[in-house]
A and B are shown apart, each in its own frame.
Chain A
Amino acid sequence: MPALPLLLLSLATALPLVATADDHEPPRPPLTRHQLDAHFARSAAAHPDLVTRFTLGTTLAGHPIEGLVLAAGEAPLVDRAGLLVIGGLDGRRPGDAAVVVALAERLLALPADELATALDGKALVLVPRVNHDGTGALLGEQGPVHERRGNSRSDDADRDGRRDEDAGNDLDGNGVITSMRIPDPEGEWVLDEHDPRALRKAKRSEGERGTHRVAIEGLDDDGDGEANEDGGSGVALDRNFAHGWPEHTAEGGAYPLSEPEAKALAVFLHAHPGLQGVLVVGDQDTLVSLPGEAKKVDRGGWRNAIRSPLDGLLKEDVATLKEFQRRFNDALKSEEEDAEADENEDDADDADSDINAEAEDHAEGDADDEDGAEDDDGEDEAESHAEGEGGSDDEDESDADSEDDDAKDSKDAGPKKHKVKAGSLVDGSFLAWAYHQEGRWPLAVKAWEPPTKFPKDKDAKSDDAKSDKGKKGGGKPGKQKKDEPTNDADSPVPAAVLAWLDDEREGNGFVPWTAFDHPEHGAVEIGGLRPGLLLDPPSDAADALADRLAPWLMDLLAALPSVAFESLKVERKADGLYTLSVALVNSGVLPTTSKLASETNTLRPVRVRLHLPDGAQRLQGPEQVLVDYLEGAGGRQEMRWVIAAPARTTLRLSADADTTPDVELEIELP
């Protein structure tokens, strides 16, 4: 076993809190399956009373999808309330698994009795990586290192009767499939004057012509005139779910849950109704930008039921998500206070986590609806980084217009911050399904966005740093303010990212452009960013996110719904005749279920029953009450019975549900 797992352990125990941006720890490489396995084994061995390993399912290629259950006490998992945390749905984001692993480490580093109390009757289920097949491509387990978003499903993306026959090729033999920049007056890119390794969009409106186009490193293997058009991206697991499923697309798969990984997740969540929230660590976010309210709820029929899929959340559920968000931001604020003590005030605005800044905007309550409207494009924006011009993803092509709009939007919004835009539940995603069809709380966090700000002092600084790298045109501080390096959202090699790599990664992650004589294109350069670099959260971002998630999840465990019988009143009306009234009250912070779950019967309501012994009789009142939705912090429903029974009879009231602990109340009649 290499030394890495030991390092992980010691980081977790010695540095339970923030690793600040200035530490410049070398990033840890992505966790391999073996390292994850070792982590599970260590955790289970170190905390036998709290940790159980479990296998969610098997990937298409046959790798087990494993995780941990954190729970205290004897109850089986199916009877517990709790949350499901998953990462690694997208093969290009192996760092998401590191968030979940770091989260587990932080939780397990808490005092054992604190943890045991929090997890009594409850559970946290953690699955760091679902898409082992796709991640394997980035880890170099499937030939040259390359990006694979989906699983190992083969496909005939170009519909020519041949499957996966035209993927990228490692032309320069460096073991990595990167990019080609091809001199082309019809191309849309030019070399960025601030860093000619980088590319920016030609300013065509100002009369500037492009000089290059960019493609994935490769050949037209099947001779159809298209390069890398059937490269095998597999089925994108996070588009293989039934809400808004993208039918007849390569990414969506043959039908909802056609992929064993997605099916395993669905079967597991469906079978565990007590797991009332899902937290997805990936490319969606619902905590920084709250998902919007459904614009129109189509109701009808004699029950006034919902009749078509919602394009947003029910308003009660948005309100509850706000509470999730408030608590998430509280966790952030205490962290920021710590951070500010260390950091220069001037730099605070430039803090590494732009997500944080954005979160504050939203905490102030602005523009929630706008975020809902902007929706789907957050992830497209991220994808386009990786795919560049060479990408053949249908989705990107079809959404090209909206991407342009986004680019405009973010310009209008000002250049200061990169905006995290993923404010709604993406069609076909696990999260959208979990809310719309299973009624669970849709929680999602994105660990990281690639830096988009070229440092102000960069030109001067970088001149010393890498004068040997052929960088020209350094230090023009006067001009720079006016002409800051652009950061085209879809640039395959943004200048700001290169600057960040230089500053914090000693340039690692960039493969220098190297001349190559291409059989189809002639003289090209091969190089650019390593696969996954613009998508995959680096390890310090993973650690920082885990720092926030750990206290927040502990807080949520305490906030789960909890019902009790209150305001019991028993009155003797006559000999052997009693009235009985009682209220079922939710003392938890969260409602007993989401409003959607109660409206659509996707989770079972709380069932209250009055149990009478022989000799007692119910004269009036229901044998059973199904309590659909009790809001948090005191939501209550009253109920009343008339009973004929001898004095001193003992009755029993019970309330049972999947999302709250069952309760019973024994009542002795006077």
Chain B
Amino acid sequence: MTRPLISLLLGALALAGLAAPASAQSDRTPAIDIAWNRFYNYDGIVALCERLASERPELCRLEYIGPSEEGRPMPLLTLNNESTGAEHTKSAMWIDGNIHGNEVQGGEAAVYAAWYLLERYGELPAVTELVDERVFYILPMVNPDGRQFWFTDPNTPHSSRSGKRPTDNDNDGLFDEDGPDDLDGDGELVTMRKQVEPGTGSYRLHPDDPRIMQRVPNDKRKAWGADWVLLGQEGFDNDGDGRVNEDGPGGYDMNRNWPAGWMPNYIQYGAGDWPFSYNETAAIGEFIAARPNIAAVQSFHNAGGMILRGPGSPTRSDFYPGTDRQVYDAIANDGEGILPFYRNMVIHADLYTVHGGFVNWTGEGLGIISFTNELWNSEQIYSFGAEGNPFEQGERSYEELQHLFDDLVMLGETYVDWHEVEHPDYGTVEVGGFRKMQGRTPPAFMIEEMIHRNAVFCLFHAAQMPKVSVESVQVDDGPGGSKIVTVSFHNERWIPTRTAAANNKNIGRPDIVTFAGSGITVVAGGPDADRFDLADFDAVEHEPQRLLLDGGVPGHGRTRLRWIVRGSGDFTVTLDTQKAGTVVASGSL
């Protein structure tokens, strides 16, 4: 398909997006001064939200939903300029982050999006338009318990993904009784390794750098004298069942707990007892379901540099009809430009199968154009210049790159060197490895760029929500003294007022177009009116004064309706949509 020229306004948005951080970092003094080169724990994010709401009360409201399983209220910001209309009369975008407790940067990215809109309102026309014409619902922490635990307790980059409802993962009737243990009490959860008889291990130490473990192929173990084994995360067999770390804190995945292709735990790990079975997912489900004006969804995760859309399973491709896929691609293709190192991908085809994911629910259950971004791509950690990426080329392991990065860029900040510890089950072992802040999250100095680019990707998506106006109202003379009224509504953005998914699956209601005029009788009416041939339109059999538009007003397109009427006086034609408010055309016979 050919892409229409990006409108002037969107051009302005893209420019503003690129220019803003430079000016913010140069001589512009922020009105709401927040440090974006760091992460915040639960209390920190709450404090940022409170600050935004108190500094811009006319545009931003803070409420708390939930609370979480451990009782933490979940701050949710609503950005809406009440003076230009109530929330439900405008297209709204939902933005969240951090459903996986360890994927913390989504929280900062979500708050940044709110901050940027408030900070630059009245200054950058593209931002002002978004704030005046759109609504944003921003929930920085879907999983506040997992986030807080990740910051306060020993963890790896990958642990504390779950929420904190105690869960019996090993089916022994006990809950969370055998998680990892910080054996040496240094506050870090790293890896255990143990030296064994040469030839009986599965690893050896890298000849140039003994910090690095080299995996030895099975048939080379004797020959190479493999003398080390890896024993997993720091921990011991707390419950004496012969297994280590098999039933840690929580132990489920809230991003598998949504009612779209949901599968039970034995098919989809972490799914929960049923959709919306956790406090957090239930609260969000209730909030979103009550707001049919939500027309765009963005969810922030880490890591890998991806702009993901559904389906999560190949069996659900029919939820993404061609016209919707065009919209997804239109947004994500520019997204790849806004987000260097990120790729436009489909969850099941390019990543892995997910049943019951959040954006699957909003996309397939609610018919909303929805993306998941995986924030941060570790290709950014170390550059070999013209030689290209040696990891991609198979010349160096990712671990080697991580060490170069830690040694030369982080000056050792993100690594714990191997040291001996006595282990209750394994005897003397060594523990060491990268700290939780290395691997899935960027270093402090790269946080601001990451969250800015992701936030403005949301703004680009938000700008693509339907924006409908009256294109023309035309009155012609009809046969026998009747009049022919033709009204055209135009949508100047990519997202239709009703997606093809919503139309195909009977989600929500069609748009309703009502003709009203006190001195006027409607004889016939219908959609699909030809521009020139006045006799050419799809006259409906019943209720011509109230037309139902199943497909709404298409993206970058129009819908043209026509009525044959009798009488005289003023009339109005009202387009009433769920996703783009109400648009009224008027005229006179």
Q: Which of A's residues lie within 8 Å of B, judged by CB? A: 156, 159-161, 222-225, 242-243, 245, 247-248, 254-257, 266, 270, 305-309, 436-437, 599-602, 604-605, 607, 622-624, 626, 656
Return the chain B residue nearest A618 by Cβ: B240
Instruction: Verify B509–A309 contact, CB threshold 8 A.
Output: no
For this complex, 9 residue pairs linking A to B, each with C-beta atoms less than 8 Å apart, are A161-B512, A222-B543, A225-B541, A225-B542, A242-B262, A243-B264, A436-B264, A601-B171, A623-B242
* Chain B residues near A245 (CB-CB < 8 A): 259, 262
Q: Tell yes or no: B548 within 8 A of A by CB.
A: yes
- Complex Cα gap A639–B259 (Å): 43
Q: Tell yes or no: B273 within 8 A of A by CB.
A: yes
Return the chain B residue nearest A266 by Cβ: B274
Instruction: Verify A224–B264 contact, CB threshold 8 A.
Output: no
B281 shortest CB reach to chain A, Å: 11
State whether A623 and B266 are in contact (beta carbons under 8 Å apart), knowing that A224-B542, A604-B171 are contacts in the complex: no
Main DSSP-derived SS at the A contact region? loop
Return the chain A residue nearest B170 by Cβ: A626
Instruction: Verify B262–A605 contact, CB threshold 8 A.
Output: no
Return the chain A residue nearest B367 by Cβ: A248
* Chain B residues near A626 (CB-CB < 8 A): 171-172
- Complex Cα gap A610–B287 (Å): 50
Q: A248-B506, A437-B274 are in contact. List 4 more A-B contacts (CB 8 A).
A: A223-B543, A257-B274, A437-B264, A601-B265
A491 shortest CB reach to chain B, Å: 30
- Complex Cα gap A641–B365 (Å): 54
B257 shortest CB reach to chain A, Å: 11
B258 shortest CB reach to chain A, Å: 8
- Complex Cα gap A305–B365 (Å): 28
Instruction: Verify B172–A242 contact, CB threshold 8 A.
Output: no
Which residues 334-380 of B have a CB within 8 angstroms of A? 365
- Complex Cα gap A530–B266 (Å): 46
Q: How large is the interface on B (under 10, 10 to 19, 20 to 34, 35 or more residues)?
A: 20 to 34
* Chain B residues near A623 (CB-CB < 8 A): 240-242
Instruction: Verify A306–B543 contact, CB threshold 8 A.
Output: no
* Chain B residues near A607 (CB-CB < 8 A): 172-173
With most chain B CB atoms within 10 A of its CB, the pick from A159, A243, A266, A602 is A159
* Chain A residues near B386 (CB-CB < 8 A): none
Q: Sorted from nearest, which 6 A-B pairs have the closest CB atoms?
A: A255-B259, A600-B266, A225-B542, A623-B240, A248-B505, A161-B509
Cross-chain contact of A605 among B171, B265, B276 (Cβ < 8 A): B171
Return the chain A residue nearest B276 by Cβ: A255
Instruction: Verify A602–B266 contact, CB threshold 8 A.
Output: yes
- Complex Cα gap A90–B536 (Å): 48
B524 shortest CB reach to chain A, Å: 14
State whether A159 and B506 are in contact (beta carbons under 8 Å apart), knowing that A257-B274, A624-B172 are contacts in the complex: yes
Instruction: Verify B509–A255 contact, CB threshold 8 A.
Output: no
- Complex Cα gap A305–B512 (Å): 49
* Chain B residues near A247 (CB-CB < 8 A): 259-260, 365, 505
* Chain A residues near B576 (CB-CB < 8 A): 161
* Chain A residues near B365 (CB-CB < 8 A): 247, 255
* Chain B residues near A436 (CB-CB < 8 A): 264
Q: Tell yes or no: B507 within 8 A of A by CB.
A: yes
- Complex Cα gap A257–B266 (Å): 19
Q: Tell yes or no: B263 within 8 A of A by CB.
A: yes
Cross-chain contact of B262 among A160, A256, A601 (Cβ < 8 A): A256
* Chain A residues near B201 (CB-CB < 8 A): none
- Complex Cα gap A437–B266 (Å): 9
Return the chain A residue nearest B503 by Cβ: A159
State whether A270 and B273 are in contact (beta carbons under 8 Å apart), knowing that A242-B264, A305-B266, A626-B172 are contacts in the complex: yes
State whether A242 and B267 are in contact (beta carbons under 8 Å apart), knowing that A248-B507, A607-B172, A624-B240 are contacts in the complex: no
Instruction: Verify A161–B171 contact, CB threshold 8 A.
Output: no
Cross-chain contact of A161 among B263, B267, B510 (Cβ < 8 A): B510
B244 shortest CB reach to chain A, Å: 14
Instruction: Verify A254–B267 contact, CB threshold 8 A.
Output: no
Q: Tell yes or no: B433 within 8 A of A by CB.
A: no
Instruction: Verify A242–B289 contact, CB threshold 8 A.
Output: no
Instruction: Verify A307–B542 contact, CB threshold 8 A.
Output: no
* Chain A residues near B265 (CB-CB < 8 A): 600-601
- Complex Cα gap A245–B550 (Å): 25
Q: Tell yes or no: B275 within 8 A of A by CB.
A: yes
B272 shortest CB reach to chain A, Å: 10
Return the chain B residue nearest A596 by Cβ: B266
- Complex Cα gap A254–B264 (Å): 18
- Complex Cα gap A604–B172 (Å): 7
Cross-chain contact of B274 among A159, A222, A242, A601 (Cβ < 8 A): A242
B194 shortest CB reach to chain A, Å: 22
Which residues 533-552 of B have a CB within 8 angstroms of A? 541-543, 548, 550
Instruction: Verify A656–B173 contact, CB threshold 8 A.
Output: yes
B418 shortest CB reach to chain A, Å: 29
- Complex Cα gap A602–B264 (Å): 10
- Complex Cα gap A600–B273 (Å): 13
- Complex Cα gap A631–B542 (Å): 64
Instruction: Verify A224–B543 contact, CB threshold 8 A.
Output: yes
Return the chain B residue nearest A628 by Cβ: B171
- Complex Cα gap A616–B266 (Å): 39
State whether A309 and B276 are in contact (beta carbons under 8 Å apart), knowing that A225-B541, A656-B173 are contacts in the complex: no
Return the chain B residue nearest A222 by Cβ: B543
Instruction: Verify A254–B512 contact, CB threshold 8 A.
Output: no
Return the chain B residue nearest A394 by Cβ: B506
Instruction: Verify A600–B173 contact, CB threshold 8 A.
Output: no
* Chain B residues near A257 (CB-CB < 8 A): 274-276
Instruction: Verify A256–B274 contact, CB threshold 8 A.
Output: yes
